[in-house]
Amino acid sequence: MKDVYVSWVKGLPQDKEALSILRDSGVVSGIEMSNIDNQIELVKDSGLKVSSHTPGMDLTLNLAALDYMAAFEGEQGDRLLRVIRDSDASTVGFHCGYAAEEVYKMTAFPNVPKSETLFTDRQSLLERITNNVILLENRINNGLPENNQKKIVLETMDYSREKPVPWESQQNKEAVERREDIAKMVRDHGINAGILYVTDPSFIRRVLVGAADRNVKPIGLLFDVGHNLISADAKIHKRMFRGTVEDYFDSMLLVGEGRTYQLHLTVPEGHADEGYVDHHHTFRPGENLSDYVMQLAKGVVQKSPEISVVTLEMRTGLEPVEHAKEMVRQAEYVSKELF
């Protein structure tokens, strides 16, 4: 049995009509959210379930942070933990982190490491992320009955083809002020400086194995089809990976050894000539890229029967009611094609 969760949009938890459309659809289980505020209770009170992904957003985004577990301190930390534990999905998802303790947040561009916090040693980064994953799992599941414990799933980011920094886009004040530092980092390490190592199948496998050696509850994978398509394309283009996109997908699926517990579905933007960008589009049956993503997703599901949570991580740009209607259409299509 697979639960299908749909994406959050501003105003959705407060819109009773939109919530009822999702609840009564027969195909949507609930909403995936990063929120830790009272929007959680609004959704649950409507009869829909909640799946927690990168809960608290900036609080949990970077598993390479030196003080990662500080997110669980104080009143806000108590709330963060409660939201995770009270979420309905069997999984709770976290990004695998950056190759730096801190990054500059960028617009329409990968986040760029702050130079003084960059990890240049793969082993040190591996130890930091593995230790934080173990601490995270222990904090979430310690004291919970086994049937209430969460499966921690790690999601790899998207490794992109090289492109100039889009300074014409509205970058935030800190990025503008540190433009020279950012330019030097990109010049020296490329636009993927922030995710060096952390999209490599061998690195992710070592995180999972290292955590499993010291954990009762196995750590699993959250397989984002769009992220892996973008990464496969870029690595093949840069001759960092020999094989096809499908071969790359197989290499990632082998990492978890049957522990791919969650799937993220979305359609990127772009094409094979110039590469892809993670724009979280909906499926459009009959369009080449949309159909290709669905084909890839079918392969993941067929090879990973352990998947129990599927999220339509899509941006529609619509108001809550219309967003809900579109999410039901997408859920019906995905259910028909994949299950």
Express each pLDDT in 198-228 by its tens digit: 999 999 999 999 988 787 677 999 999 999 9
Strand residue runs (E) in 138-191? 151-155
Residues sharing a CB contact under 8 Å with residue 157, sequence separation 6 or more, in sequence order: 95, 96, 110, 195, 198, 199, 227
In the block, residue with structure tokens 């973008």: 230
In the predicted model, is pLDDT for residue 24 greater than 90? Answer: yes
C-alpha–C-alpha distance, residues 221 and 241, integer Å: 21
C-alpha–C-alpha distance, residues 290 and 157, integer Å: 20
For position 216, what pLDDT does the model report?
66
Quick one: 273 exposed, middle or buried, by C-beta within 10 A (0-12, 13-18, 19+)? exposed
Q: Which structure tokens are listed for 270?
A: 């772009």
Q: Give domain limits for the chain.
A: 3-96+122-159+196-338
Strand residue runs (E) in 212-295? 220-224, 260-265, 267-271, 275-281
CATH architecture, domain defined by 3-96+122-159+196-338: Alpha-Beta Barrel (3.20)
C-alpha–C-alpha distance, residues 256 and 335, integer Å: 24
Are the C-beta atoms of 28 and 50 separated by less than 8 Å?
no
Q: What is the tens place of the pLDDT at every residue in 234-293?
A: 999 999 999 999 999 999 999 988 999 999 999 999 998 999 999 999 999 999 999 999
For position 299, what pLDDT does the model report?
97
